[in-house]
Amino acid sequence: MVRWEPDAAGRLREAAMALYAEQGYDGTTVAEIADRAGVTARTFFRHFADKREVLFAGSSELEELMVAAVAAAPASAGAMDAVAAGVLAAGEVFEGRRDHSRRRQALIVATPELREREFIKLAALATAFTAALQARGIPAPRAALAAELGVTIFRVAFERWVDGSEGDLEKVLRSTLAELADLTA
Amino acid sequence: MVRWEPDAAGRLREAAMALYAEQGYDGTTVAEIADRAGVTARTFFRHFADKREVLFAGSSELEELMVAAVAAAPASAGAMDAVAAGVLAAGEVFEGRRDHSRRRQALIVATPELREREFIKLAALATAFTAALQARGIPAPRAALAAELGVTIFRVAFERWVDGSEGDLEKVLRSTLAELADLTA
């Protein structure tokens, strides 16, 4: 049976988020997610490798976009300015997605398996930032430190944005970067 | 049978590190670790909750010591100086333990399950730093940012120390803190 499945991936994501919130991550099967989204389990696996990845779809595109912004920073930018450009590039990606991000974050914090997967994704982002900074001529140890700082700022700002009342992630990223400068002054 | 087991925990740690390196973490059982250390599996479980924890023994003592140093920083110290005191306190704990730390780090990097456990331990350290900074009167959001920066510095410096030729962790922690100030200047 061939079915027309407009935005099957989006519906699978919504179904997974709803079921994880209702009955927990551990208590939810791929079959239930597919059923709720009105597709087959086979369709689920066409879009996602496993039950975890359904919440991390788009993370490689986000990483690519952030790394491209590091590469595109003006030649005159130092390590921290280049990595700040990468961090700020995440702002537009999350425009209008705060409610979704808040629900998603609550699930991640409550589920060790999802939390672990998020740590791995952020470690991959730091590695990618490091490579992008090295490509700009920054020596490896300094590049790694700046990259880790960039990921820390992104993570802290993202949590602030999700928990706070400010709708614009880019603004929160900017104020967190300013606070880093202030703290270390 | 009651056996005299001098430093059973230490021998179990060494046996686990050796077996994980020889045949991989996944391919090693608790029974094999106990056997290599010359004790029973029951003794293993008297000392460690599971196969992962054998590599993270002492992490709660380390956290306590680092957090105590944040609390003990001079009243005049700001958020970053207090957290730097906490980070530097780790120096003496690892005196003379670079070879051991290098072998342990290689296992962690190569084993997703161990890497995940390490992320969780570091997240707990950040939470403890945040509470210690709040107890010093630093508002929660600023405390959380300074805490995360402290953990990032600790992690980067620890990797540099393990991979480098400098034997003294405290020196590497100091130079990494100085580089943070330089990067964000």
Residues 58-87 of B with CB under 8 A from A: 78-80
Residue A141 counted as domain residue: yes
Q: Are residues B153 and B117 in the same domain?
A: yes
Kindly state whether residue A3 falls inside one of the protein's structural domains: no
Q: Give the span between the Cα atoms of B150 and B57, in whole angstroms.
A: 22
Please indicate, yes or no, whether residues A83 and A139 belong to a single structural domain of this protein: yes
**Interface check B156 vs A, CB under 8 A:** yes
Q: What is the pLDDT of residue A112?
A: 85
CB pairs under 8 A between A and B: 66
Question: Are A179 and B145 in contact (CB < 8 Å)?
Answer: yes
Count CB-CB contacts under 10 A for residue A113. Answer: 14
Question: Nearest chain A Cα to B80, which residue?
Answer: A183
Residue A116's pLDDT band, with cuts at 50, 70 and 90, is confident
Same domain, yes or no, for B112 and B23? no
Q: What is the pLDDT of residue A2?
A: 47
Say if residue B47 is in the same domain as residue B135. no
My answer on whether A65 and A48 are in the same domain is: no
**DSSP sequence for B99-157:** HHHHHHHHHHHH-HHHHHHHHHHHHHHHHHHHHHHHHTT--HHHHHHHHHHHHHHHHHH
Contact B183/A145, CB-based, under 8 Å?
yes
Q: Is B105 on the interface with A (CB under 8 A)?
A: no
| Spatial CA neighbour of B101 closest among B39, B30, B23, B17 | B17
Q: How far is CA B171 from CA A90, A147, A149, B82, in A?
A: 35, 22, 20, 18
Same domain, residue pair A30 and A113: no
Do the domain assignments include residue B3? Answer: no
Q: Are residues A136 and A158 in the same domain?
A: yes
pLDDT at B4: 57
Q: What is the CATH number of the domain that holds B17?
A: 1.10.10.60
pLDDT digits (tens, 9 = 90+) for A29-76: 999 999 999 999 999 999 999 999 999 988 989 999 999 999 999 999
Asked if the structure places residue A168 within a domain, the reply is: yes
Provide, rounded to the nearest whole percent, the portion of chain A with pLDDT above 90.
86
Is the Cβ pair A141, B160 closer than 8 Å? Answer: yes
Q: How far is CA A152 from the centre of its chain?
A: 13
pLDDT for position B51:
94
- Token pair of A136, please? 């700009």
How far apart CA A121 and CA A63 sit, in angstroms, is 9
> B130-134: which pairs have CB atoms within 8 A and are 24 or more residues apart?
B131/B67, B132/B67, B132/B70, B132/B71, B132/B82, B132/B86, B133/B70, B133/B79, B133/B82, B133/B83
CA distance from start to end of chain B: 64
Residues A44 and A90 in one domain: no
Of A39, A54, A69, the last residue of a domain is A54
Q: Kindly state whether residue B1 falls inside one of the protein's structural domains.
A: no
Paired tokens of B26 = 């996944």
Asked if A174 reaches chain B (Cβ–Cβ under 8 Å), the answer is no
CATH of residue A73's domain is 1.10.357.10
Longest Cα pair distance anywhere in chain A, in angstroms? 64
What does pTM read for this prediction?
Answer: 0.90
B118 touches chain A (CB under 8 A): no
Among A148, A184, A185, the residue with its CB nearest the CB of B156 is A148
Asked if A129 and A86 count as a contact pair (C-beta separation under 8 A), the reply is: yes
How many domains does chain B divide into? 2
Please indicate whether, in this complex, the C-beta atoms of B145 and A155 are within 8 angstroms of each other: no
What confidence score (pLDDT) does residue A155 get?
96
Q: Is residue A169 part of a domain?
A: yes
Position A5 confidence tier, pLDDT thresholds 50, 70, 90: low
Say how far apart CA A9 and CA A34 lie, in whole Å. 10
* Chain B CB contacts of A146 below 8 Å: 183
Q: Do A135 and A46 lie in a common domain?
A: no
Please state, in angstroms and rounded to a whole number, the distance separating the CA atoms of residues B4 and A65. 60
B116 neighbourhood in chain A, CB within 8 Å:
116, 119-120
Residues B22 and B83 in one domain: no
Task: Show which of B39, B54, B69 is a domain's final residue.
Answer: B54
Say yes or no for a CB contact (<8 Å) between A152 and B156.
Answer: no
A156 close contact with B: CB closer than 8 A: yes
For residues B170 and B179, give the distance between their C-alpha atoms in angstroms, rounded to a whole number.
14
| CA-based nearest distance A154→chain B, Å | 11
Spell out a b/e string for B130-157, using b for 16 or more CB atoms within 10 Å of the CB, else e.
bbbbeebebeebbbbbbbbbbbbbbbbb
Could you report the average pLDDT of every consecutive run of 10 residues in chain B (185 residues)?
70 95 95 96 94 91 97 97 98 92 93 89 96 97 97 97 92 96 92
A151 CB-contact burial (10 Å; exposed 0-12 / middle 13-18 / buried 19+): buried
In this prediction, residue A166 has a pLDDT band, given cuts at 50, 70 and 90, of confident
The answer to whether position B161 is within a domain reads yes
Q: What is the pLDDT of residue A113?
A: 86
pLDDT, position A54? 93
Q: How many CA atoms lie within 13 A of B146 on its CB side?
A: 30
Global ipTM? 0.88
Task: Please report the pLDDT score of residue A81 as a whole number.
Answer: 97
Q: Are residues B49 and B79 in the same domain?
A: no
Distance in angstroms (rounded) separating the CA atoms of residues B46 and B64: 22
| pLDDT at residue number B1 | 46
| Chain B nearest-CA residue for A183 | B80
A139 interface with B at CB cutoff 8 Å: no
Domain carrying residue A20? 8-54
Q: What are the CA-CA distances from residue B39 to residues B12, B13, B50, B108, B111 (Å)?
A: 8, 12, 16, 25, 25
Nearest to A184 among B123, B156, B180 (CB): B180
Mean pLDDT of A92-101: 92
The pLDDT of A96-124, averaged and rounded, is 91
What sign does the CA torsion over A169, A173, A175, A176 have? positive
Decide if A109 is inside a domain. Answer: yes
Q: Are residues A138 and A175 in the same domain?
A: yes
**Max Cα–Cα distance, chain B, nearest Å:** 64
Inter-chain CB proximity A183 and B149 less than 8 Å: yes
Question: pLDDT: is A4 or B18 the higher one?
Answer: B18
Are A149 and A80 spatial neighbours (Cβ–Cβ below 8 Å)?
yes
Chain B residue closest in CA terms to A144: B156
